Structure 1
């Protein structure tokens, strides 16, 4: 195991690895600008005093009496001192409105900067398009400095403090966030906590033989420790490399690479790693980033003899990160990427007294929505919703149908067995269905990471193509086309009705189809996720105003679901539950706020169905609601 740093001390007067601000372990005065307003200093000191005891206790629980604590605290103070005045004003406003991200009018979109507009400056010129959709939240895919071409879609980062030159500059990012704030849109960026690119300056120093930087990673001379790890730790992507370690010829050492060989796992047992990474978070927050999607967070702490997933130390780090933000930049929130079963999720929110993430990606519901659409059976979906709705009130989700990634068929196998469904055969059916290889399938997609030995695979494709639009257009089948559009709208409407807020994948609002041209690019052909990572089609977007077009129908459908979410029953404190529709093809969801009750019913079958609803707490619901194939209705049941 890489050395544990509990009893080691780390004292430096300058820190090249924290970039942008050389942070001393001495006093704030050395790093604060001469214009640091005493009132602002007082605000910072009050926040820090409120959290100091807990923060220092958590830090020492991981790192003992390391002097790196002083470096970290000085970095926090310096970051607040250098925080722009308009962002400090946003901090104060959000402290008065801490649940701003839970409002019913929250509506998000995720996109790649280059695919949508080319670069950050050009994207800033497209904000009117985003405002048309009444977006309040924009998640830009990774845009920090990355190697080319091997960057895993930007998740191999070689500089956490600098925008990739192909996309712009740090000033371009700051200018964009300012324009987005003016438009009422909060910017979300990924922060890749688990690993760096093998071309990161720390990795380069490690490869050059510097033992200090080798200790930023997990490096071993022989296979003894790596073999112990591999005996307990399943690889995240089994097809990317043999085992969790890669031999580095320059270093003559094995280095931990749980994801890809060109992504080196960081050693958070080293307090220097924690401080450097947190300093980068604060630097990006000062450029105007308001939401951080912390990538692969369950994996960041490694412990021999465990599966290195969801360990207690992970939560210690996330809690310290949350405290740091509440002290330095309380306008900023954390969104966790936790691809785990519902029983694992609550821990990542922490408790009301000691919170961690503000919200999580709702991966399991994305998967179950697609499963219900392929089978016409909503039982697994409803069971998963019940588990999520039973989580504590502080648990909040970002709901989505598609994103930059694949659909991994991680369904609840125990629930499948309870319902008499064979988990393995069901998974095979689903990925072959969305590949378009199952008789009767209307979908056009591709497999991702198919493993012939285990029969495991994931699915790729845009929402419209997976819903059947592409196949119907190719075959000139008008009946199939109408059904495909209804499926697309059904999926978005159901997603938007659930607990949390919806996030579109850019292009879904205009029914963008698969980008098969990726197969002609030698740098992209090996990754089938590029099927749904294609340039935004602005010529198709222009058709959103032409009545009767696919683009217009979907655009207006998105407007309808935004209007739906303005109902008081979409308030942050609304009670949400599934309800028995007495029809396995129909999902029924009830929302209640005060005395007002709204029910949504969603037909996942290609046939007329009737939802039969029993009363709820003495409130009569519509007894019968007739639904067309792939139809939905939202009804106010009680005022």
Structure 2
């Protein structure tokens, strides 16, 4: 690193810190953070508005032990499965928290520096990172009440004595936004008597105190460790809740945004191709704010997509989906949307607020309950409960419509993924969507935890038998998904930042137009999201008659543009003037 870049970097780090800690002398802290990251030699200045991604980038979301085989570490089994079944169509793997934990399936971290010995070791993580873009969670807002830091807090010794947020229980905290119904404060016995600590998510997940610079140093050290172990994509878990200020909502605080900018500055100067993704399960406009001016997150989760897409497919009406898509600003160069429609958590409903009304959200939740879903709740204004999340596997969520189950489950499920694979952004597919896993209701009964319904652990041999049998829905879905992804990765018009415009072809149809960055390929993506046949005049799609148009999905060519495009229930086409190779 040249002296000029070194000086510029220190200026940037100090600027971030001065906003967060305005009354402190931040020069020494800036030097300390740069030293932790070893930013003192050959690092390069990151590019501005540079894309280090393309249509070939596709993530899978999975737990380290989602697939297990007797006599083998789960991370080894996972690596084998990806190499055998998905390597040619998946470029990145998001391994959900793989650390020792005490609850919430990994999101209550006991030790950030170790791999959970129940699933493997660091060497397994490193090996996966050599072949795939490895995404890891930076569980930044809180840690486990069984962590060494919290033990030290109770013993009043360092490190940890001042790592947590103590609050008088008589304080008015009514403005604080809560994602859960559990009490915000937890009483704990310490050597200095009873104290009350802040717990946004659960009594076992104790919020870290970022007003203490020592906590920042600890977290930056963890970031450096992950980089050294091959992590190139950081998912900042629950980051929206990071900074607490009494008298505010304690969500999306300006200082929280500044922390994202600080972490980006440090990470980019260490590894210019590294990526930060913010996990902010909040209403749409709040979520988009984490792009900043292309100087915060490289990517944000498209949280409104899952509830709106599922709602469209079970109602047969695309109007809300289209209205939302038209309101979405295109991601600036150097940023992208991470598109997902299923995850380890469920279908979040807060991102649908303001897009669906309360009656529509309740109707969606009721339909999903008829398909075996569970509903998780949050405490809203005035202490009243509101549905927060639908817990269900996506395959079972799409088993029917508002009228009940029907025969179109696989077609509806594939249509949902056809939409996600062709939208602006990078797709992220939950492992249980690839495998078309059904609701694990027995697991919910065992754990009394709603999210367990979508966290089944497959036996490797049993899974392979189903995937190879030629007739199970697991086999059919994986084959169709692989075929669609193999098409996607060849199309320049499916670049995450390629142009996108919404088409208006009736409420039963969800369509949009994509154009490559070089403007040499167009794709019209037209999806029937209903259980009845639709006919669309080709003349209404504005296809240029001088071109030859081909459906990438079926291979069919369209030469007579005066005919109708006929789509059966949940059929879709990707019409292009220039198939990618």
Smaller-chain TM-score range? 0.7 to 0.9
1:422-571 equivalences under 5 Å are 423-436=357-370, 443-449=371-377, 454=385, 456=387, 458-468=389-399, 480-481=406-407, 483-519=408-444, 521=446, 524=447, 526-538=448-460, 539-565=462-488, 566-571=490-495
1:586 corresponds to 2:509: yes
Q: TM-score, normalised by structure 2?
A: 0.86
SS at match of 2:203: coil
SS at match of 1:344: helix
Distance 1:378 1:48 in 2: 51
CA offsets per residue over residues 475-497 of structure 1, 9 Å max, x none?
9x9xx44x111011111111111
1:60 to 18, 26, 38: 18
- CA RMSD of superposed structures (Å): 3.1
**Structure 2: gaps spanning 5 or more residues:** 550-560
Q: What is the aligned partner in structure 2 of residue 100 from structure 1?
A: 52
Distance 2:301 2:136 in 1: 13
1:398 corresponds to 2:344: no
Q: What is the aligned partner in structure 1 of residue 554 from structure 2?
A: none
CA offsets per residue over residues 101-120 of structure 1, 9 Å max, x none?
3x001111111112223533
Distance 1:461 1:547 in 2: 26
1:574 to 487, 498, 509: 498
1:64-83 equivalences under 5 Å are 64=22, 66=24, 69-71=27-29, 73-80=31-38
Q: What is the aligned partner in structure 2 of residue 236 from structure 1?
A: 179
Deviation (angstroms), 1:291? 0.7
Distance 1:124 1:361 in 2: 25
Deviation (angstroms), 1:52? 2.1
Distance 1:74 1:234 in 2: 34
1:158 corresponds to 2:100: no
Distance 1:573 1:424 in 2: 33
Q: What is the aligned partner in structure 2 of residue 282 from structure 1?
A: 224
**Structure 1: gaps spanning 5 or more residues:** 1-41, 417-422, 437-442, 470-474
Deviation (angstroms), 1:338? 1.6
Q: What is the aligned partner in structure 2 of residue 321 from structure 1?
A: 263
Q: What is the aligned partner in structure 2 of residue 223 from structure 1?
A: 169
Over 3 Å counting, the alpha-carbon distance change for 1:411 and 1:78 in structure 2 is: closer
CA offsets per residue over residues 182-236 of structure 1, 9 Å max, x none?
xxx111011111111112222111112349844321113x323xx32x2211221
1:105-254 equivalences under 5 Å are 105-117=56-68, 118-147=73-102, 151-178=103-130, 180=131, 185-210=132-157, 213-220=160-167, 222-224=168-170, 227-228=171-172, 230-238=173-181, 241-242=182-183, 244-250=184-190, 251-254=193-196
CA offsets per residue over residues 20-74 of structure 1, 9 Å max, x none?
xxxxxxxxxxxxxxxxxxxxxx46x664334221211221222247567535534
Distance 1:325 1:349 in 2: 16
Distance 2:500 2:510 in 1: 13
Q: What is the aligned partner in structure 2 of residue 626 from structure 1?
A: 566
Q: As a proportion of its length, which structure holds more helix?
A: 1
SS at match of 1:126: helix
Contact 1:188–1:291 (CA under 8 A) maintained in structure 2: yes
Over 3 Å counting, the alpha-carbon distance change for 1:282 and 1:72 in structure 2 is: farther
